[in-house]
A and B are shown apart, each in its own frame.
Chain A
Amino acid sequence: KQEVTQIPAALSVPEGENLVLNCSFTDSAIYNLQWFRQDPGKGLTSLLLIQSSQREQTSGRLNASLDKSSGRSTLYIAASQPGDSATYLCAVRGNQAGTALIFGKGTTLSVSS
C-alpha cells in the first residue's frame, strides 16, 4: 500500500530565506506527483505536477524535483515571502485502477516578515 510522508510537519522561516520541503513515498510505481497549496479554511490549489518520466518542474519561485527510484520529491521555494505561508501537500498518483491521489499529511509553512 502506497504511503506518502512529508517532513517536516511544520516549518517557520524569516522572509527571504530559501527553503526545501520534503516528500517521500513507499511505492515507486507512480505515474505522477503533484504539489498542492492549502490556505486555512480553503481548498487545494495545484502548484506543480511532475510526470514519472520527468526530473523537475519549475513555476516562478517554486521548483519541484522527483527521484522516482528513491521515492523522493522536494519542493524548493526561493526567496520566501509572508504570502507563502500555507500548508503544502504532496500527492502521488499510482497506476492502480481508480487513479486515486494518495496524499501526505502536509507541511505547514510560516514565513515571518
Chain B
Amino acid sequence: NAGVTQTPKFQVLKTGQSMTLQCAQDMNHEYMSWYRQDPGMGLRLIHYSVGAGITDQGEVPNGYNVSRSTTEDFPLRLLSAAPSQTSVYFCASKQAGVTDTQYFGPGTRLTVL
C-alpha cells in the first residue's frame, strides 16, 4: 500500500511551457484534490474530484486543468506555465464523506523561470 504518490518530485519549467503533475492513490479513495503551498499563504485548494468523471474548481483554479478518468489517478495540467505558478504542489485523497482523514502525497516542487 503506497498511499498517495506524486511525480515528479522536482521540476523546472520555462514560462509558457506546459506539463502534467501526476498523482495516484491505491486506497480506493473517491475524493482527490490538489493544493498549492506558498510561503506566507498556507495551502490553497486548486481543484478537486469526488469521483471518476467528476471534477470541480477550488480556491485558485486559474491556469490549471484536471481530469479524473479513473479512481486511482488525478493529474494536474499546467497549460502555459507562469512564474506565479512556482510553488509546491500537494495531492491528497480521502474517502467520500466529511468525516474521514485526508492523506497527502510527498509534493512536487515546481519552479517556473
User: Chain A interface (Cβ within 8 Å of chain B)?
Assistant: 4, 31-32, 34, 36, 41-46, 49, 51, 89, 91, 93, 95, 97-101, 103-106
Closest residue of chain A to B43, judged by CB? A103
Return the CB mask of B71-102 against A: 1 if under 8 Å, else 0: 00000000000000000001010000111111
The DSSP consensus for interface residues of chain A is strand
Closest residue of chain A to B3, judged by CB? A43
Contact A31 B106 (CB under 8 A): no
Contact A89 B98 (CB under 8 A): no
B94 to chain A, nearest CB (A): 8
**B64 is an interface residue with CB less than 8 A from chain A:** no
Given A44-B90, A105-B40, residue A100 in contact with residue B103 (CB < 8 A) = no
Question: Inter-chain contact count A-B, CB under 8 Å?
Answer: 62
Given A93-B98, A103-B43, residue A43 in contact with residue B33 (CB < 8 A) = no
Whole-angstrom CA separation of A21 from B45 in the bound complex: 24
Whole-angstrom CA separation of A99 from B48 in the bound complex: 9
Contact A31 B99 (CB under 8 A): yes
The DSSP consensus for interface residues of chain B is strand
Q: Hey, which chain B residues are within 8 Å of A104, CB to CB?
A: 42
User: Chain B interface (Cβ within 8 Å of chain A)?
Assistant: 4, 31, 33, 35, 40-45, 48, 50, 56, 58-59, 90, 92, 97-107, 109
Whole-angstrom CA separation of A99 from B102 in the bound complex: 11
Q: Hey, which chain B residues are within 8 Å of A100, CB to CB?
A: 33, 45, 48, 58-59
Given A98-B56, A98-B58, A100-B58, residue A89 in contact with residue B105 (CB < 8 A) = no
Q: Hey, which chain B residues are within 8 Å of A99, CB to CB?
A: 31, 97-98
B91 to chain A, nearest CB (A): 9
Whole-angstrom CA separation of A32 from B102 in the bound complex: 11
Contact B90 A43 (CB under 8 A): yes
A49 to chain B, nearest CB (A): 5
Nearest 10 A-B pairs (CB), nearest first? A31-B98, A44-B104, A103-B43, A43-B106, A105-B42, A43-B104, A103-B42, A100-B45, A46-B101, A99-B98
Q: Hey, which chain B residues are within 8 Å of A103, CB to CB?
A: 35, 42-44
